[in-house]
Amino acid sequence: MNIMEIFDTMEYGPAPEAANLGLAWIAEHQPFGLFINNKWVKPASKQYIESINPSTSKPLARVAAANSEDVDKAVKAARTAFESWGKTPGHVRARYMYAIARHIQKHARLLAVLESLDNGKTIRETRDIDIPLVARHFYYYAGWAQLMEQEMPGFAPVGVVGQIIPWNFPLLMLAWKIAPALAMGNTVVLKPARYTSLTALKFAEIMQEVGLPPGVVNIVTGEASQVGEALVRHPDVNKIAFTGSTDVGRSIRRATAGSGKKLSLELGGKSPFIVFDDADLDSVVEGVVDAIWFNQGQVCCAGSRLLMQENIAERLVAKLRVRMEHLRIGDSLDKGVDIGAIVSPGQLKEIQRLVNQGVEEGAQMWQPSWACPTEGYFFPPTLFTNVSPATTIAQVEIFGPVLVAMTFRTPEEAVALANNTRFGLAASVWSDNTNLALDIAPRIKAGSVWINCTNLFDASSGFGGYRESGFGREGGKEGLYEYAQPVWEARMKQEFHIAENSGNGAAASKSSADGRAMAAQQEAGEEEHKDDAGENDGMSAYRDALPAIDRTPKMFIGGKQARPDSGYSREVYDRQGRAIGQVGEGNRKDIRNAVEAAHAACGWASGAAHTRAQILYYIAENLSAREDEFARRIVQQTGVSHADAAREARASISRLFSYAAWADKYEGVVHRPPLRGAVLALPEPIDVIGMACPDEFPLLGFISLVAPAIAMGNTIVVIPSPQSPLSATDCYQVLETSDVPAGVVNIVTGHRDTLSQVLADHDDVDSMWYFGPLEGCRRVELASAGNMKRTWVSYGHTRDWLDTVQGEGQEFLRESTQVKNIWIPYGE
Ligand code: NDP
């Protein structure tokens, strides 16, 4: 092409990044071994898988195909390393992590080239986004390692962590997982995605360079069925952190149910990109490019649903088509291309299949006139219009460069359309009216909301989903709690483990409260005796002659006392086996009514925190007026001494005060990531929480769960302790007289496990708390996989609810909230 012709077309020439150093590094190392205990070891299977360059479809490298034997070896190495790494001072961990960050920067170009070769993503993105963010994560979390002892007193590492990452951001996902894990003192076994292991293996080499102690980080490559599943099921892994598809996330939830493994899942999305008619449309067009054509649309939070206000739709679509016509597609190492290759032929086929389905379903497809390269796995940027919200392409994660556009008329319609998905990972809102954008952001069910921007990430700001996009957060301080546990909990698990191994499991699981109850029974008997003596006057003789007025509590649903649907009652017994009352036998229908009532009370979340605080104080005030009566009820049900029961009643009042105090103080933070702007990290209620109360401390256990949940704006359906439900049913009148709006607290008595199962299965329940036997915990976790609801279960352990460290505080507030990060860039 001569200069005149270049001036005519204004076409960019090729600007290839040199691949030679990356290819030389691959040649020098392959076939790649597994990285276990800081050594390269051959896989037990002696098998290798091939890594392909998606831009050329040619083989790139041979990578070890591990199996469960290798996984076991890696977990053992991590366990041994944990003994010392878990006790290493934060400053020492910070030094290692600082060194890792520095070494990533030193090898930045090699890492960027390897990532582009292996994944097919453009060098522009790996060089300017992925790798700098990887370094940033290690710097940021080096800081938390340094600060852990001061800022998180009372927290310990979780132990050995199994981490499973996808292929779309191979090294960045590794950093999101490994950096917070190491900062908190955990050791790691990481499985990269089968298609993209190379940068993880270069990272392993960096671990050797910085002299990280052996076994702290282990990298095990191979297939999901051999490595991923073995890691998930390994009994000596304490936590699984997974990023990938919702289907696999669901299967991991099921596989780990009842195992006591901590779990965080970052899953799929179908994120809305909402454009109001006052937005700057040229900026919007560039935003759309970054939302859906960044990384070929293989981004969990890709803005894949374009929602346009009706009056600008035509203009915006026309502008978009012009821009799409000018996008450049090609070899990932070409610095001038906008769109690289799709990761694999399988993924390419799946995108094509969904696009065909979109056409069959009647949507109108548009692609630019230019052709994709014929070598490699390429798919052109694609725009669908005339899309109906219920069609497959509007609902399913396509995970490719495919945008589906729909229209709305009013902000209310925009919110309804945005939330019309089972996912909830991210959203973008475009408007020049900040008031409107900031009004819309909290109404969208998503973990990240970008205002007039999209796909921004930073280590300081948490990332993670609502609904079927998973649970748990990566990034920010909230990300640390995924890799840490309260010291008392770690100690309790350790004691339980020792007792179980010494054959004393039954003793280990015995509730401390049960012990308390038994020890106090004698004392209680004596006190009862004393009370009788004190009341031996004429009046009490008259009272004794009258039969007691029957009090049979019903269900408490939607602010009303409702008869149980079954028409059955269940007997309540004291510790001597004497019948002391009856409560309704709740069933599936009662739970469904309660969930409906809880949803109808959603205005509770948007009300002022000050009001919620006032109502909690009011509940405390009304409870305190009947403190003695509540204490007597505790004695009657549990047989503890009157003194202990009085202590429990008083602690319940104090607990209500605590959460009244927190209601307007657990407010979130403002992050200042490296951009001109701010990120508001707001703890939002989870919505409807189902909860099964513990048997120990019938009043305090109930209040300790109810109070934080409603303080944070959730509405709840509570199953009181089946053994001692009367303390909870006695609260009906307290709730009725304390201005608690109808439907905020719903109480259904009955069989704990039967009712919990209905709640855990229910698609309109967003989180389930269960404090009861291990088998019940397992069932709840298993059932929760249906809509991927969050769970918080006790694994059959009991806690000392009187203790303010175990029984109240920020752990309860974290379980009651999910953090939404709202990104607000500013400046011209
Ligand atoms: P997967 O969810 O299958 O894979 C993600 C990771 O999990 C990989 O390391 C994979 O290993 C591993 N894995 C797969 N099955 C299991 C299992 N049963 N137990 C343990 N680990 C397992 O995603 P795919 O790569 O198959 O992509 C399919 C779809 O998933 C995409 O089209 C997209 O919709 C979605 N996806 C979402 C991502 C996100 O960031 N939210 C990322 C990637 C995909 P291996 O590579 O060996 O199969």
Instruction: Give the pLDDT band (50/70/90) at residue 32.
Output: very high
Give the number of the atom of ligand 1 that is nearest the alpha carbon of residue 191. Answer: 9
5-21: buried (b, 16+ CB within 10 Å) or exposed (e) per residue?
A: eeeeeeeeeeeebebee
| Residues annotated as catalytic (active site), given as ranges | 266, 300
789: tokens are: 């609801």
The pLDDT score that the predictor gives to residue 552 is 77
- The answer, yes or no, to whether any atom of ligand 1 lies below 6 A from the CB of 400, is no
In three-state secondary structure terms, 231 is helix
301: tokens are: 């939070």
Mean pLDDT throughout 775-797? Answer: 97
- The answer, yes or no, to whether any atom of ligand 1 lies below 6 A from the CB of 45, is no
Q: What is the 3 state secondary structure string of 68-104?
A: HHHHHHHHHHHHHHHHHHCCCCHHHHHHHHHHHHHHH
- The answer, yes or no, to whether any atom of ligand 1 lies below 6 A from the CB of 474, is no
Give the number of the atom of ligand 1 that is nearest the alpha carbon of residue 247. Answer: 2
pLDDT score of 745 more than 60: yes
Instruction: Give the pLDDT band (50/70/90) at residue 547.
Output: confident
What is the best residue among 248, 294, 350, 455 to mutate for testing ligand 1's pocket, by most ligand atoms within 8 Å of CB? 248
Give the number of the atom of ligand 1 that is nearest the alpha carbon of residue 164. Answer: 9
101-148: pLDDT as tens digits:
999 999 999 999 999 999 999 999 999 999 999 999 999 999 999 999
Asked if residue 562 lies in contact with residue 739, where contact means CB atoms within 8 angstroms, the answer is no
Burial class (CB within 10 angstroms; exposed 0-12, middle 13-18, buried 19+) of 598: buried
Give the number of the atom of ligand 1 that is nearest the alpha carbon of residue 249. Answer: 2
Average pLDDT, the chain: 94
What is the best residue among 245, 342, 425 to mutate for testing ligand 1's pocket, by most ligand atoms within 8 Å of CB? 245
Characterise 452 by phi-psi region: left (phi > 0), alpha (psi -120 to 50), beta (else).
Answer: left
Q: How far, in Å, from the CA of 166 to the mean position of ligand 1?
A: 6
Say how far apart CA 822 and CA 451 lie, in whole Å: 7
Percentage of the residues of the chain whose pLDDT score is greater than 90: 90
383: tokens are: 């725009």
Asked if residue 267 lies in contact with residue 467, where contact means CB atoms within 8 angstroms, the answer is no
Least confident window among 11-20, 53-62, 752-761, 784-793: 11-20
- Which residue's CA is the nearest one to ligand 1's atom 27? 245
pLDDT score of 522 more than 70: no
**DSSP structural state of residue 408:** E
Percentage of the residues of the chain whose pLDDT score is greater than 70: 94
- Compute how many other C-beta atoms are within 10 angstroms of the C-beta atom of residue 542: 9
458-485: pLDDT as tens digits:
999 999 999 999 999 999 999 999 999 9
313: tokens are: 């739709």
Q: Name the CA dihedral angle for 362, 367, 371, 377, rounded to a multiple of 10 degrees.
A: -70
Helices (H) and strands (E) in the chain, counts: 33, 31
- The answer, yes or no, to whether any atom of ligand 1 lies below 6 A from the CB of 740, is no
The pLDDT score that the predictor gives to residue 750 is 97
- The answer, yes or no, to whether any atom of ligand 1 lies below 6 A from the CB of 754, is no
- Compute how many other C-beta atoms are within 10 angstroms of the C-beta atom of residue 798: 22
The pLDDT score that the predictor gives to residue 541 is 53
CA distances (Å), origin 648, targets 55, 108, 246, 363: 67, 59, 43, 63
- The answer, yes or no, to whether any atom of ligand 1 lies below 6 A from the CB of 468, is no
Mean pLDDT throughout 82-96? Answer: 98
189-215: pLDDT as tens digits:
999 999 999 999 999 999 999 999 999
Q: How far, in Å, from the CA of 244 to the mean position of ligand 1?
A: 4
Say how far apart CA 160 and CA 189 lie, in whole Å: 8
Pairing of strands 560-562, 555-557: antiparallel
The pLDDT score that the predictor gives to residue 537 is 47
pLDDT score of 814 more than 50: yes
**Beta carbons within 8 Å of 197's beta carbon, 6+ residues apart:** 32, 51, 63, 118, 170, 219, 221
Residue whose entry in the numeric block shows the structure tokens 């769970």: 791
- The answer, yes or no, to whether any atom of ligand 1 lies below 6 A from the CB of 245, is yes
Mean pLDDT throughout 553-566? Answer: 95
Q: How far, in Å, from the CA of 168 to the mean position of ligand 1?
A: 10
In sequence order, what DSSP letters do the residues of 496-538 get, joined into one string? HHHHHHTT-HHHHHS-HHHHHHHHHHHHHHHHHHHHHHHT-SH
Pairing of strands 271-275, 426-430: parallel
Asked if residue 400 lies in contact with residue 347, where contact means CB atoms within 8 angstroms, the answer is yes
Q: How far, in Å, from the CA of 86 to the mean position of ligand 1?
A: 30
Helix 588-600 crosses helix 752-761 at what angle (to 10 degrees)?
A: 50
The pLDDT score that the predictor gives to residue 526 is 40
702-743: pLDDT as tens digits:
999 999 999 999 999 999 999 999 999 999 999 999 999 999
Instruction: Give the pLDDT band (50/70/90) at residue 496.
Output: confident
161-182: pLDDT as tens digits:
999 999 999 999 999 999 999 9
- The answer, yes or no, to whether any atom of ligand 1 lies below 6 A from the CB of 255, is no
pLDDT score of 533 more than 60: no
In three-state secondary structure terms, 617 is helix
Q: How far, in Å, from the CA of 224 to the mean position of ligand 1?
A: 8
Mean pLDDT throughout 309-331? Answer: 98
pLDDT score of 535 more than 50: no
- Which residue's CA is the nearest one to ligand 1's atom 26? 245
Give the number of the atom of ligand 1 that is nearest the alpha carbon of residue 231. Answer: 20
- Compute how many other C-beta atoms are within 10 angstroms of the C-beta atom of residue 713: 23
- Which residue's CA is the nearest one to ligand 1's atom 38? 244
Say how far apart CA 152 and CA 180 lie, in whole Å: 14
Considering only CA atoms, which of 387, 403, 258, 429 is closest in space to residue 791? 258
Q: What is the 3 state secondary structure string of 412-473?
A: HHHHHHHCCCCCCCEEEEECCCHHHHHHHHHHCCCCEEEECCCCCCCCCCCECCCHHHEECC
pLDDT score of 351 more than 60: yes
pLDDT score of 529 more than 50: no
- The answer, yes or no, to whether any atom of ligand 1 lies below 6 A from the CB of 523, is no
- The answer, yes or no, to whether any atom of ligand 1 lies below 6 A from the CB of 402, is no
Q: How far, in Å, from the CA of 485 to the mean position of ligand 1?
A: 27
The pLDDT score that the predictor gives to residue 516 is 41
- The answer, yes or no, to whether any atom of ligand 1 lies below 6 A from the CB of 166, is yes
Asked if residue 787 lies in contact with residue 250, where contact means CB atoms within 8 angstroms, the answer is no
Cα dihedral across residues 756, 757, 762, 763: positive or negative: positive
Per the DSSP assignment, residues forming a β-bridge with 36 are 39
The pLDDT score that the predictor gives to residue 520 is 41
pLDDT score of 183 more than 60: yes
Q: Name the CA dihedral angle for 213, 215, 218, 220, rounded to a multiple of 10 degrees.
A: 150
The pLDDT score that the predictor gives to residue 382 is 98
258-279: pLDDT as tens digits:
999 999 999 999 999 999 999 9
Give the number of the atom of ligand 1 that is nearest the alpha carbon of residue 251. Answer: 18
The pLDDT score that the predictor gives to residue 747 is 98
Q: How far, in Å, from the CA of 806 to the mean position of ligand 1?
A: 37
Q: How far, in Å, from the CA of 176 to the mean position of ligand 1?
A: 16
The pLDDT score that the predictor gives to residue 521 is 39
The answer to whether the predicted template modeling score (pTM) of the entire model surpasses 0.75 is yes
- The answer, yes or no, to whether any atom of ligand 1 lies below 6 A from the CB of 224, is yes
Q: How far is CA 587 from the centre of its chain?
A: 30
Q: How far, in Å, from the CA of 501 to the mean position of ligand 1?
A: 36
Instruction: Give the pLDDT band (50/70/90) at residue 503.
Output: low
370-406: pLDDT as tens digits:
999 999 999 999 999 999 999 999 999 999 999 999 9
- Which residue's CA is the nearest one to ligand 1's atom 21? 228
Say how far apart CA 343 and CA 55 lie, in whole Å: 9
- The answer, yes or no, to whether any atom of ligand 1 lies below 6 A from the CB of 244, is yes
562: tokens are: 């409702």
